[in-house]
Amino acid sequence: MIYSMTGYGKGSAQNENFNSEVEVKSVNSRFLEISLKLPTSLMNREYEIREFIKSKINRGKLSVIIQLKNNGSNNDSLFINKEKLKSYLSLVKELKKAAKISEKVKLDHLLNHADIFSTPDLELSDSEFHLIKKALDSALVELLKMKKNEGKELTKDLIKRIKIIESQLEKIEKDTATAASEYFTKLKERISILISDINIDKDRLQQELAIIADKADITEECVRLRSHIKFFLESLNDSEPGRKLNFLCQEMNREANTISSKSISTLTIHNSVFIKEEIEKIREQIQNLE
């Protein structure tokens, strides 16, 4: 099953005295990155929260915001730290005196110093922390649901592009069936004209022409490319297909490059270019997979 790395989830849980709200956003990332915005009362539980998220999410850059309310009020409501305020005003007074500044201290000056404001410490019980984890779990479930739905759309797009590659490969295989023999015949005719007045071993010439035609044969590359396509479609049902699909894209691109370089048919070269374009689009989409 394919999951996208982008998604959003929101969850909440409450009892008669306590309320928890969690918001989770996820975007693309090579690894699992978790950014937490927690109230001060949850700082000592950060490790547990991270481990809980890791048990649910494998990959992506997550932004997690947890808000707590107690008795109907936000536990992060501010109050003035009077000791820090007095210290700050005393320092400003000395500064004004030393610099001979007569300007009065305004409210704007105080609001620019966040350290004079504090939040009340809320001691969380185990039952309240369980409530927070419940809200977080709800948010992650919603996130995973969205990631799964987007994954389904990505899967449809990947299958569509693989079908395009298969279609181009069929054209290449049909063209290859006649291109080699036609090229072989034309080459013989041209060489015959060039050496019409020269005595040459015709058997040796036939052998050299056969070697040239054999070097231009792309049957093996077509077989391998078709095999990679088969494994690609099968891998879409794996639990974490991202890396495998990326590897198969590399291999498909390798075969398409070889087909293009070996081919003696302009039509085949053009079709191989179309294949490489679709592979590149697939590789871009794979970057969105978990």
| Residue 180 and residue 217 in contact, taking contact as beta carbons nearer than 8 Å | yes
Q: What is the pLDDT of residue 168?
A: 94
Q: What is the pLDDT of residue 162?
A: 95
pLDDT at 82 over 80: no
Catalogue the long-range contacts made by 127-132 (C-beta closer than 8 Å, 24 or more residues apart). 128/18, 128/20, 129/45, 129/48, 131/13, 131/14, 131/15, 131/18, 131/20, 132/13, 132/20, 132/22, 132/42, 132/45, 132/66, 132/68
State mean pLDDT over 80-105.
76
Q: What is the pLDDT of residue 111?
A: 64
pLDDT at 206 over 70: no
pLDDT digits (tens, 9 = 90+) for 208-245: 566 666 666 788 899 999 999 999 999 988 877 878 89
* Percent of the chain residues past pLDDT 90, beyond the cut: 42
State mean pLDDT over 139-168.
94
Residue type at 264 in one-letter notation: I
Give burial (CB, 10 Å; 0-12/13-18/19+) of 148. middle
CA dist., res. 64 & res. 235, Å (int): 31
Q: Which residues have C-beta within 8 Å of that of residue 191, sequence separation ≥ 6?
A: 205, 209
pLDDT at 42 over 90: no
Q: What is the pLDDT of residue 283?
A: 93
pLDDT at 253 over 90: yes
Q: What is the pLDDT of residue 95?
A: 76
Q: What is the pLDDT of residue 54?
A: 94
pLDDT at 19 over 80: yes
| Residue 144 and residue 100 in contact, taking contact as beta carbons nearer than 8 Å | no
CA dist., res. 88 & res. 82, Å (int): 10
Q: What is the pLDDT of residue 41?
A: 82
Q: What is the DSSP letter of 114?
A: G
| Residue 12 and residue 31 in contact, taking contact as beta carbons nearer than 8 Å | no
pLDDT bin (cut points 50, 70, 90) of residue 78 is low
Q: What is the pLDDT of residue 263?
A: 78
Residue with tokens 């290449």: 172
pLDDT at 137 over 80: yes
Q: What is the pLDDT of residue 71?
A: 59
The average confidence (pLDDT) of the chain is 82
Q: Which of 1-10, 54-63, 115-124 has the lowest mean pLDDT?
A: 115-124
In the chain, the largest separation of any two C-alpha atoms, in whole Å, equals 113
Q: What is the pLDDT of residue 33?
A: 94
| β-bridge pairing 18-27 and 60-70 | antiparallel
State mean pLDDT over 251-278.
90
Strand partners, 9: 24
CA dist., res. 225 & res. 246, Å (int): 15
pLDDT at 46 over 80: yes
Buried b (16+ CB within 10 A) or exposed e, 56-79: ebebbbbebbbbbbbeeeebeeee
Task: Enter the tokens of residue 202.
Answer: 């015709």
Hey, what domains does the chain have and what are their CATH numbers? 7-76+123-149 (3.30.230), 79-117 (no CATH), 153-286 (1.20.140)
Q: What is the pLDDT of residue 174?
A: 85
Q: What is the pLDDT of residue 123?
A: 64
State mean pLDDT over 108-126.
64
